[in-house]
Amino acid sequence: MPALVDELMSGDDAPSAVSSSGGGRPPGSSSLYPQQRAAADELAAALASWCIQAGEHIGVEAPRPSGLWWSAPGRKIDSETGEAYLVEAEPVGIRSASALTELVRWIDPLLDRVAAAPWAPEMLADLSRLDAGARARWAVEEPERRVQDIACPSCNAYSLVVTPVRVVGGQEQVTCSRISCGRVLSSQDWERLRAWSVLVARMSAKAEETSA
C-alpha cells in the first residue's frame, strides 16, 4: 500500500507498473493527478483513522505522522444528549508517503490483536475497497497478472491470476491457473485474502525496505 501511495503521489514519474499498458494517456499526466491525489488522500486518511481506532482498542496511542493532513479540532453538539463535546483533529489526507509507511510499521505488529476486534472485518473491507479503488483510478489499464504473494487457498500454489478492474467499481476476476485446481475466487474471498496480504505481508516488507 505505501508503494501505491508513492505512485499515486508522484506527479510526473511514470509508475513502472503501468508502463506496459498500451496507448491512452501517459500515467501521471496532469489531468489524472488530482484524482490520484484524492485516492491517496482517501486511503491514507482511512488507514490513519483505523490506526487510531486500533490504538484505542488495545490501549496505546496511535502515531500521528506529520506527513498527514489533519482537520482542525472543534466543538460539536451531540444530537441525542444536547451536550457539547470536543472533536479531535481527524486525518483527512497525506502530504508525504512516509506518513503511510509510519502507520503501516506501527499497525503491522498489532494486527494479530486487532484481528479479534469486532470491527476488524470492516477495517479490512474498507482498506481493500479504497486500495482497489485507488488502483482502478490510477491504473487505467493493466495487463492480467500472476499473483506472486498470495497462494491459492485451494491448492496452495502461487498460481492465482487476476484479471484487473476495468472500470471503477468493477470487480476483479481471480482464478487459479492450475488446470488440476481451477479455483475461482469470489470477489469476497479475494478481497479477504488480498486485504490480509496487503496488511501483513507486502506492507510490512515495504516498511522494512523503506527503513533499511
Summarize as ranges the residues that interact with Zn ion (CB under 5 A).
152, 154-155, 176, 178, 181, 183
Q: How far is the CB of 173 from Zn ion (least distance, A)?
A: 15
Q: How far is the CB of 180 from Zn ion (least distance, A)?
A: 8
39 vs 152 by CB, closer to Zn ion: 152
Phi, psi at residue 185, to the nearest 5°?
-90, 135
Closest CA to 46 of 198, 207, 173: 198
Q: How far is the CB of 182 from Zn ion (least distance, A)?
A: 7
Give the DSSP H/E element, type plus range, for residue 148.
none
Q: Residue for cell digits 502461487?
A: 158
134 vs 160 by CB, closer to Zn ion: 160
102 vs 191 by CB, closer to Zn ion: 191
Q: Residue for cell digits 481471480?
A: 174
Other Cβ atoms less than 10 A from the Cβ of 138: the count is: 21
101 vs 159 by CB, closer to Zn ion: 159
Closest CA to 50 of 124, 116, 105: 124
Q: How far is the CB of 193 from Zn ion (least distance, A)?
A: 12
d(CA 158, CA 53): 34
